[in-house]
Amino acid sequence: MDKQATEKKSRTESKSIFPGGVVGILGGGQLGRMLAIAARRMGYSVHAFEPQPDCPAGQICDLEINASYTDETALKKFADGVDVVSFEFENIPRSAIETVSGMRPVHPRGEVLHICQNREREKTFLHSHGFPCAPFRVVDSASNLAAALEEIGTPSVLKTADFGYDGKGQIKIEAGADATELWSRFGAPRGVLEKWIPFRAELSVVSARGTDGNTVSFPVSENQHSHHILDLSIVPARFPKSVLESATHLATRITEALDVVGLLAVEFFLTADNQLVVNELAPRPHNSGHFTFDACITSQFEQQLRAVCGLPLGSPELMSPVVMWNLLGDLWSKGEPDWNVILENPRAKLHLYGKSEARPGRKMGHVCVMANSTDEAIREIEEMKRRLTP
């Protein structure tokens, strides 16, 4: 039996961690906060490891450890106090995962994080397994970029290999662009050049996979962005059933191919002829899955908890059409927003993340509106926007 098969068998046979156990979270943002809420509700204790004090997750946790991800002593102290570890964002050094996983189970496994935190490795994985993704080339110089542009053509987009989110670290390239000038402006040592995909919509699926290999997926979300930041998630997505089934099937296959235990969010472009192209992967809860907290029998956060603790997965069934709206720091430009605008709607759910400073573009919270249809929910959110936007 090879090493990967042995590791997989070991995970499958691992004991469940029941309520009363201690869950550790690497990262202290809003995703960790909502995981902590789900865990506390089910009777778990929660410890967060986060470099910055008074983090959103730490406000909910039993213990918040503030130290660098390179502080091996602090990481070992953190691991010693928990039964299982998961994470809530990708930009965690692999060395930190290795330190913790030497003492406690970490889900998803470090190799999943290693693949998904780097666009070169992520695209290579997708391509090598036959999953649909945009044609791409890896570049590390102006001359490489010029050669790649000859092959890929324009329009295209140059993305940093590491540390990109919400449209950061990306340059769209049109015909006639100068590769030397672009590379100088790019400012990163390595990048991925991708063919520009004309798309009619962006979709995403959050899949969960347990230690027993069972996989379930949440309903497909239709996502609308503003300035590269998610604005609205609309569920059910307003596209043919065949498209939604294909997106769910692809997300399941990718989750299984990565041997994920925990969550995997798969973002797609939907082309004009209803073809799906995988854009990005995230091995954690996802912004577009926040609707599950209010509108599904099991939220993505409870599902993450169930998966990493070796419990049976819950039902992802949607109980109501729902639209989620991201609340960005821009809303605070003239002071605290008037939350009555949201709360006077009896089917609206307000979630604030406990962040002390509101900055433009910073995710401060979200609101979910349940309604008889997504069109009705969108109309109600648009009215909220009109009244709240400075």
Q: Are residues 223 and 357 in the same domain?
A: yes
Where is the domain boundary, 91, 106, 121?
106
Q: Are residues 263 and 325 in the same domain?
A: yes
Average pLDDT over residues 325-345: 97
24-35: pLDDT as tens digits: 999 999 999 999
Q: Is 286 exposed, middle or buried (0-12, 13-18, 19+ CB in 10 A)?
A: buried
The pairing of beta strand 276-282 with beta strand 221-226: unpaired
Where is the domain boundary, 165, 195, 225?
195
Does residue 168 carry a pLDDT above 90?
no
CATH of residue 60's domain is: 3.40.50.20
Does residue 66 carry a pLDDT above 50?
yes
Lowest mean pLDDT among 124-133, 166-175, 216-225, 270-279: 166-175
Q: Give the span between the Cα atoms of 113 and 347, in whole angstroms.
A: 37
Average pLDDT over residues 170-189: 93
CATH of residue 154's domain is: 3.30.1490.20
Percent of the chain with pLDDT over 90: 92
Residue 273 domain-assigned? yes
CA-CA-CA-CA torsion for 35, 37, 42, 48, nearest 10 degrees?
Answer: 60
Q: Give the span between the Cα atoms of 211 and 318, in whole angstroms.
A: 24
248-262: pLDDT as tens digits: 999 999 999 999 999
Q: Are residues 259 and 286 in the same domain?
A: yes
Q: Give 162 or 212, the one with higher predicted confidence.
A: 212
Does residue 9 carry a pLDDT above 50?
no
Q: Supply the pLDDT for residue 167.
A: 56
Q: Are residues 227 and 368 in the same domain?
A: yes
Count of residues in the chain: 390
Fill in the amino acid letter for 263: L
Lowest mean pLDDT among 44-53, 98-107, 168-177, 378-387: 168-177
Residue 257 domain-assigned? yes
Q: Supply the pLDDT for residue 13.
A: 45
Sign of CA dihedral 68, 357, 328, 58: positive
Band the pLDDT of 1: cuts 50, 70, 90.
Answer: very low
Rg of the chain on CA atoms, in Å: 21
Total domains in the chain come to 3
Q: Give the span between the Cα atoms of 181 and 185, in whole angstroms.
A: 6
Q: Supply the pLDDT for residue 14.
A: 56
Q: Are residues 175 and 205 in the same domain?
A: no
Task: Calculate the alpha carbon distances from 147 to 140, 152, 156 in Å.
Answer: 11, 9, 13
Assessment of whether the complete model's pTM goes beyond 0.85:
yes
CATH of residue 246's domain is: 3.30.470.20
Average pLDDT over residues 301-323: 98
Band the pLDDT of 199: cuts 50, 70, 90.
Answer: very high
Does residue 156 carry a pLDDT above 60?
yes
Q: Supply the pLDDT for residue 390.
A: 77
Closest of 107, 277, 131, 123 to residue 193, by C-alpha: 123
Where is the domain boundary, 195, 212, 228?
195
Return mean pLDDT, the chain: 94
Q: Are residues 191 and 206 in the same domain?
A: no
Band the pLDDT of 7: cuts 50, 70, 90.
Answer: very low
Q: Supply the pLDDT for residue 106.
A: 98
| Domain range enclosing 27 | 3-106
Q: Are residues 303 and 157 in the same domain?
A: no
Q: Supply the pLDDT for residue 6.
A: 46
Q: Which two tokens stand for residue 298?
A: 């099991």
The pairing of beta strand 156-160 with beta strand 136-139: unpaired
Q: Are residues 186 and 207 in the same domain?
A: no
Residue 77, phi-psi category: left (phi > 0), alpha (psi -120 to 50), beta (remainder): alpha
Q: Supply the pLDDT for residue 29.
A: 97
Does residue 11 carry a pLDDT above 60?
no
Residue 128 domain-assigned? no
Residue 262 domain-assigned? yes
Q: Are residues 224 and 333 in the same domain?
A: yes
Q: Are residues 183 and 237 in the same domain?
A: no
- Could you tell me where the beta strands, DSSP code E, fall in 179-334? 191-195, 201-209, 215-217, 221-226, 229-235, 262-270, 276-282, 322-328
Task: Calculate the alpha carbon distances from 124 to 165, 177, 279 in Å.
Answer: 19, 26, 13
